[in-house]
């Protein structure tokens, strides 16, 4: 049986010896000792935290890897037996149909004939207005020079002399 009184007396003896030693040293040494003890305590807590965190990660990834390994083995066995079944029975293996049929099937022509469709002819009127104050580079934001605007009117394409970004004008039909 454990004698708790004897253990308590011995702990009290060690505590009094430590306090006598601690109080006998100068005050700056006492302060440095307390700071050092706190630093060691904080470092010990941090080390314990990271050891526990690392252990938890290790266990997690071991379990995850084991699960994926077992899953891969069972999927492989399933596919092996599936192939053996179709090879032995002589049945053709079913073709998987994609779930989105609209994207893969060609569009059916409408039921109306060409003559029945109403043909709408838009009026063609080309307008190309380039205002010198309205053309700015979309890359650097500087206004186009007169030479750039002339190039734009002639070819429909101009490049910014500051950054090299191209600008193409399009004709609008109204």
- Tens of pLDDT, residues 140-164: 888 878 888 888 788 888 888 888 8
The lowest-confidence range among 2-16, 89-103, 146-160 is 89-103
pLDDT at 95: 84
Summarize the confidence of residues 17-38 as an average pLDDT. Answer: 95
Residue 62 pLDDT > 60: yes
Listing DSSP states for 23-52 in one string gives HHS-HHHHHHHHHHHHHHHHHHHHHHHHHH
pLDDT band at 37 (very low <50, low <70, confident <90, very high): very high
Residue 132 pLDDT > 50: no
- Where are the chain's structural domains? 4-89, 122-174
Residue predicted with more confidence, 69 or 136: 69
Summarize the confidence of residues 11-28 as an average pLDDT. Answer: 95
Listing DSSP states for 78-147 in one string gives HHHHHHHHHHHH-PPPPPPPPS-HHHHSPPPPPSS-TTTSPP-PPP--EE----TTT-B-TTT-PBPPHH
């Amino acid at each position: 049986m454990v004698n708790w009184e004897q253990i308590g007396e011995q702990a009290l003896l060690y505590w009094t010896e430590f306090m006598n030693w601690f109080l006998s040293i100068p005050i700056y040494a006492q302060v440095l000792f307390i700071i050092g003890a706190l630093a060691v305590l904080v470092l010990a807590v941090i080390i314990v935290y990271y050891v526990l965190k690392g252990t938890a990660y290790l266990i997690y990834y071991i379990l995850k890897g084991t699960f994926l390994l077992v899953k891969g083995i069972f999927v492989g066995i399933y596919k092996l037996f599936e192939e053996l079944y179709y090879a032995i029975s002589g049945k053709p293996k079913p073709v998987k149909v994609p779930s989105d049929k609209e994207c893969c099937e060609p569009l059916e022509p409408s039921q109306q004939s060409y003559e029945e469709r109403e043909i709408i002819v838009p009026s063609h009127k080309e307008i190309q207005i380039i205002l010198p104050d309205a053309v700015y580079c979309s890359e650097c934001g500087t206004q186009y020079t007169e030479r750039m605007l002339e190039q734009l009117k002639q070819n429909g394409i101009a490049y910014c002399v500051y950054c090299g970004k191209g600008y193409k004008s399009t004709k609008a039909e109204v």
